[in-house]
Structure 1
Amino acid sequence: GIKVLIIGLVYFIIPIIITLVLLFMFGAIGAGLDKMAGSLGIWAVFAVIIFIIFGIFAIIAEARFAISRSIGDALSIGEVFADVKRIGILNIILFLIVVSILLIVLALILSVVAIIPVIGIVIVDLILGGFALLFVNYGVGLIYSE
């Protein structure tokens, strides 16, 4: 778990820095409310795109780590990039969209179960938390192994 956390931190340090730089460039930090409101929309679009791109690389890096158990393999950006090209960026994005939709539907269904006092919340936590994690990681493994 700690190694996966380190991999995630390494892959998301760059988007965090880029996002902070964009905040300064677009005047969202240190500006009045009128200027800040307009610049936050532009900043948010760039930030979301950057985080999605680096998130895709982090997912593939974690898949590489799961196979090799080596942080070095997961942090080898060239090899991760080659894996992303091999799998296909559109395949990865399509997978993420389908998984997101399925998890939203599952969450909506389980929100009804959560109404049951105490046991409902326990069931939701076990199913949504555990199942979602297993489902997503299994899917990433299938995509990576193709």
Structure 2
Amino acid sequence: MPLPQEYQRASDQFYSFLTELRDLSNFGSSHQTYTMVQGVFQVFRKRLQVRDAIKFADALPAILRAIFVSDWDTEQPIEPFCDLFEMNAEVKQLRAEHNFSTDTAIQDVGNVLKKYVDEEKFTSVVRDLPIEAQQFWQWDK
């Protein structure tokens, strides 16, 4: 079997995603953008059962999938979803001294992410998640 296209172009696609999100967020570097993406993913995944998180990760592009599952303590207790304001504040706690995430980090990541996923697959996966998880990824807020 030939190398899947998803892996052949993974770096280009990831850099394009980071650049678009960096520009939307008015950041000076991709490093700031990466921290925001990682924070959003960690805030989301710690509120999911492992099986749901793996299904979600499978709907992401290759490098974003890797970021979603990296440094994950699957033994950590599942936390409840809370309001968007609180979860956006929580995103800023990852490497807080160097975190420049926007006040709308979750929405910003979601609005750019929708351009880089197979929207039909992503929507199908999210639709099967608990209602609070579905609301997390409602775009254009």
Smaller-chain TM-score bracket: 0.3 to 0.5
Q: TM-score, normalised by structure 2?
A: 0.34
Q: TM-score, normalised by structure 1?
A: 0.33
Greater helix percent: which structure? 1
